[in-house]
Chain A
Amino acid sequence: MSRTRNDDIAVIGWSVSPMERHTAKSETQMLLEVVSGAVDDAGITRADVDFTCAGSCDYVAGVPFSFVQNTDAIGAWPPKSDSHVEMDGAWALYESWVRLLLGDMDIALAMGSGRSSTSDPAILYPMEMDPFYLAPLGADHANLSAMQARTLIDSGMLTERQMAEIAVRTRRDAKSNPLAQVSGDFDVEELLAADYVNAPLRLHDMPPITDGACAVVIARADKARELCENPVWITGFAHYTELHNPGMRDLRSSTAATLAAKAAGVDEAPIEVAELQASFTHEEPLLVEAMGLGPEVSVNPSGGPLAANPIMATGLVRVVEAARQIRVHGRHRTLAHSSSGPCLQQNLVCIMEGD
């Protein structure tokens, strides 16, 4: 397929930081490195970037206005057209993409960063829930996700063994991902013999705690062609949310993921690889079904969030891994997904294609 429409926008460069259980680096340092890496990869300098947008979270950082420091990393002098979302970097990419659609700018840079290692997720994440009915009970993502997993098990859609098999597969796949934090060859029986952490979830069902950052450069078609031999075209991009309280949702499905995948054009042509922000094993089959992905689709060949989960960048890393499948592994059409909120409340899908 050849592209001539200037409205087309492509990924032309990226960089992902090391994925670490604890980093000594600040978010700004991590961002400085990945921004340098991404603009180098795209064959440009920071000065060539017309628009920047970062995704990060004050509560993850433990400081109000934490993103202000990160302005040091983007090269905002002379002053830059710039924005920030209190969301995963995948949504920063969405804002950047919308900004380029307006046509008066050619190159944008999206970032995501977070240091989850600095606090205890069990203490932090209740703050994200309904402030009257959920937060005061100390309900965090793991507690609520475990209930969603049991719903799937009770409905006969999934077994704990199948969940362990997903963990084994992703950890094995992660062996070929130099950035993976958790990888290796594991035995299903051995995993199932472990104690529950949040029954029915065991440690292997849950993501690691990861510090990391990611940056992605996108460009409008003419500029992308000029700068890049193998641009990765964004052909569909959408995100949707559901109502908040998991007790008021049908936890056997993910309406928002279905809507996002449809709006991004999932069924317009075959998808070869899907990089999903399935942070818990049971979320993978749930998302696969919700998005209508067939058995031929390779899911999370990078190992996914179970291999490395840099909160606020995990979704943007999915975009990089899905783009990598096109640029490096010669795939034609791939899908990246990001999610936020309890039990997959909010979902984003970005579909990319090679030439």
Chain B
Amino acid sequence: MSTRPVAIVGIGQTNHKSKRWDVSLGGLVREAAFRALEDAEMEWSDIDAVVLGKAPDLFEGIMKPELYLSDALGATGKPMFRVHTAGSVGGTTGIVASHLVAAGRHKRVLAVGYQKQSEGNAQFALGSGQGASMGAGGAFAPYMRGYIHRSGAPEDIGPMVAVKDRQNALKNPYAHLKIENISIEQVKASPMMWDPIRYLESCPSSDGACAVVLTDEEGGKAAAAAGRTPAWVLATAVRSEPFQFPGRDPVRPAGAVDCATDVYRQAGITNPREQLDCAELYVPFSWYEPMWLEAHLIAEEGQGWKMVEAGDTALTGSFPVNMSGGVLSSNPIGASGLLRFAEAALQVRGMAGEHQVEEANVAVAQAYGAAAQYYAMWVVANSLDPFGS
């Protein structure tokens, strides 16, 4: 193996809102980048390369925006790389950045994801500008109904996830949705948007950005020596599968299972539920929490909803999920995957503030995209050898 250790030493994100009309597009991505650089105690000149991820350019009406944003992100005279893997793009962005360090190409890489949804209209863009757009909710709703039907999960599981994530968001200063005293009754009373998904079981549409500074073993150890705990990237994995073929299972997609199997194997994880301390998963609609707990092998098939019901996935539960409030609380699409990856790193660094999980040593993050067919995952830890192998 030619892989070198990779450390996350800087994390920043914007204050996510439905309309960040106080900043320009450049200002938005820089707000996240400044915070990441400050956290890493670095200057723009310390960065060797930038990786930018975002979902469709049609959302803001700027084609290949990495060109316009090159100088905003300090990439003048440096490499600027742009990835786009649908909803999983933020995860892919972190992974591509980590590979640039792991392969020895660069010492310090800045990964940035963003979306400024208020400049356009995602529903319009998803329908290619045509009428009767189902939106992402309409596309995923039949999968979630399939899960409910198959697992026999009680109706309240979705609302429970919605409440739990919004409660976590109250502890996250950057989260978009802040719904004080949210209750299951309130969620169930909200309008049914894409049956079985209600309004309050859906993600918001957000403006926001996330930035992560990744560096090599030397950089990671220097940060640790200076009292700034790095998060070490133990493993990364991506998978794609066709959007449709007869018999394809979008409820428990093979790509989701394979991606998890691969990332756990590389990280030396044989029992995810026991060896992982928490998970930050891409849950844009409430029912995806139990679905991913199962497809990513944290729960047995058909048992994910029981973890939700038992409160295991709450911030104080035995296996906290989406401590940040998740996609359900903030959804700047192109940044959403990187926000998951960054939250996992924040947790193992012990820097998650009010939404910190106690004793979080190893965490997994995941993002998915398109027809639940693109997957990106990484496992991070506060040491290079958390299982003492």
Q: CB within 8 Å of B: which residues of A?
A: 7, 52, 57-59, 62-65, 67-69, 71-72, 74, 76-87, 91, 94-95, 98-99, 101-104, 124-125, 127-132, 135, 238-245, 255-256, 259, 340-342, 345-346
Contact = CB atoms under 8 A, between A and B. Distances in A.
Contact of B1 (A57, A77, A102): A102
A98 B69 CA distance: 23
A58 B241 contact: no
15 contacts: A52-B240, A58-B56, A59-B57, A59-B63, A64-B128, A65-B56, A67-B84, A68-B86, A69-B243, A72-B242, A81-B239, A98-B100, A98-B105, A131-B62, A242-B76
A82 B240 contact: yes
B100 A346 contact: no
A52 B241 CA distance: 12
B63 A98 contact: no
A85 B81 contact: yes
A68 B128 CA distance: 14
Interface stretch (B144-152, B169-177, B253-261): B253-261
Contact of B370 (A62, A65, A83, A341): A65
Given A81-B238, A103-B3, A242 B258 contact: no
Nearest to A255: B77
Contacts of B237: 81
Given A58-B58, A64-B56, 19 more contacts: A58-B84, A59-B58, A67-B84, A77-B254, A79-B255, A81-B237, A83-B238, A84-B83, A87-B82, A98-B103, A101-B105, A124-B63, A129-B68, A239-B79, A243-B76, A340-B64, A341-B67, A346-B70, A346-B80
A79 B259 contact: yes
Contacts of A256: 77
B13 to A, nearest CB: 22
B63 A71 contact: no
A245 B76 CA distance: 11
B67 A7 contact: no
B184 interface: no
Given A79-B255, A129-B68, A131-B61, A68 B238 contact: no
Contact of A68 (B70, B79, B92, B370): B370
Contacts of B68: 129-131, 244
A166 B68 CA distance: 31
B61 A240 contact: no
Nearest to A345: B67
Contacts of A86: 57, 64, 66, 82-84
B298 interface: no
Contacts, number: 178
Question: Nearest 6 A-B pairs (CB), nearest first?
Answer: A79-B255, A64-B56, A82-B240, A101-B103, A243-B71, A103-B2
A82 B253 CA distance: 16
B125 interface: yes
Contacts of B77: 240-242, 255-256, 259
Interface of B: 1-3, 24-25, 56-64, 66-71, 75-86, 92, 96, 99-100, 102-105, 125-126, 128, 237-243, 245, 253-255, 258-259, 262, 370-371, 373-375
Nearest to A104: B1
B371 to A, nearest CB: 7
B81 A87 contact: yes
Contacts of B25: 131
Contacts of A132: 24
Given A78-B258, A91-B81, A243-B70, A71 B103 contact: no
B61 A99 contact: no
Contact of B2 (A57, A102, A238): A102
Nearest to B262: A81
Contacts of A76: 240-242
Contacts of A99: 99
A264 to B, nearest CB: 12
B6 to A, nearest CB: 11
B58 A64 contact: yes
A99 B239 CA distance: 14
A83 B96 contact: yes
Contact of A241 (B57, B78, B241, B370): B78
B254 A242 contact: no
Contacts of A67: 84
A81 to B, nearest CB: 5
Contact of B67 (A85, A94, A342): A342
A127 B286 CA distance: 36
Given A87-B64, A87-B81, A128-B63, A63 B242 contact: no
A94 B57 CA distance: 22
Given A81-B238, A85-B82, A64 B96 contact: no
